[in-house]
Structure 1
């Protein structure tokens, strides 16, 4: 498998999942601004969506969209328990978390990275995403991870979003459950390995 990634992008989530899974993989760095690989190859010829992450399977198929990729990785390494078994109530709960992070948090960050959006408009999005994090802070009370005591691929995705919060200077320090979660996930050897590999 090949993971097409960009340092600091949401591709960190499947990168963490791959490190946690122990599955053999290759990393291919993408310059998203230029839409080029280090070889000079046009990334659009690989993924016409022009986005990371993208996971190239050994079969030649390309899978895109982070929440789908991380579930595929988890299923390929079922013994690691990175996702509950398909068809169980717990699996649907995992999908609920992945969708919440994707739709409510990930997409709310997009305007904060756009230099053309006014500071007044950015304040609206900062307040909105802070509210979403506050909800998660409450849900993490009394448990180590989103699904309880077991780390799953949803935790790697949430950790990635918390790294983005740092990048845009969002102060979440008052959210003790969330900060404890960030520290726990950040201390995991696989997460450290992914962060180190991305520089």
Structure 2
């Protein structure tokens, strides 16, 4: 069975998993999940009881949730492309460490800003959330700027799952303008490089429902009911 990635819009962190699948180059399909309406529906909860994206229906018919687990699954299939590495190796440890930083410090830094953006809160509370979020985002950018240094990619000379996940989160700054990325020249260079990558361009087009030219193994989109029918067949 062809794997199916359930990706959330608008601007879900599942963006990184789309990029990773494009870089993997193996057959896959996508299922669009509008947030929060479709994500919280009874139908989607059959895929992910927590009503979160992304989720992955694997080729074996299993369902996986959480970006780190999905990226790990993709990485295990992408060792030849150096997207991931064999568990227990130094390279794998470095990748896991970077993904953990991105998933906790970098991702979480934007949480107060998203809350202020998405909820009707009083002016003083909104400003407090924004100030707290900006501080966190500045801290996360400074730390990642230092980690990257002069390296071409987050882990050195080759792009990995970490770069795919990074670009999906880093673009959130366009909503919140928490930092001027040009103040972090290493990250700015990496961001601009990734924005020009065919896999990233493809993922943007998919989210925005524009014509999307895959350079990987994309076999088209299916709707949620079609995906659920596959789940039923496997069961």
TM-score (norm 2): 0.79
Match of 1:140 among 143, 148, 159: 148
1:13 corresponding residue in structure 2: 16
Q: How many residues align?
A: 197
In the alignment, structure 1 segments of 5+ residues that lack a partner are none
Paired position in structure 1 for 2:194: 185
How far apart, CA to CA, are the structure 1 residues paired with 2:62 and 2:147?
37
Q: For residue 144 of structure 2, give the secondary structure of its aligned residue in structure 1.
A: helix
Give distance in 1, aligned partners of 2:206 and 2:95.
Answer: 27
The separation in 2 between residues aligned to 1:191 and 1:121, in whole angstroms, is 30
Is residue 33 of structure 1 aligned with residue 36 of structure 2?
yes
The alpha carbon displacement at 1:36 in A equals 4.9
Question: Is 1:155 aligned to 2:155, yes or no?
Answer: no
User: RMSD across aligned C-alpha pairs, in angstroms?
Assistant: 1.7
Assess if the C-alpha contact under 8 Å between 2:39 and 2:52 holds in 1: no
Report the CA distance shift for 1:36/1:70 in structure 2 as closer, same or farther (over 3 A): closer
Matches within 5 A, 1:88-167: 88-114=89-115, 115=119, 116=121, 118-167=126-175
Whole-angstrom CA distance in 2 between matches of 1:97 and 1:36: 28
Q: Secondary structure at the match of 2:31?
A: strand
1:85-134 Cα distance to aligned partner (Å, 9 max, x none): 22101101100011111111112212211123521122112111211111
In the alignment, the residues of structure 2 paired with residue 113 and residue 119 of structure 1 have an alpha-carbon distance, to the nearest angstrom, of 12
Equivalent residues of 1:130, 1:172 under 8 A apart: no
Query: What is the deviation of 1:59?
Result: 2.1
The ranges of structure 1 where at least 4 consecutive aligned residues each deviate by more than 4 angstroms after the TM superposition are none
Distance in 1 (CA, whole Å) between partners of 2:39 and 2:133 is 30
Q: What is aligned with 2:212?
A: none
Matched, 1:42 2:67: no
Partner of 1:68: 69
Give ranges in structure 2 of 5+ residues lacking alignment: 209-235
- Determine which structure has more spread, i.e. the larger CA radius of gyration: 2
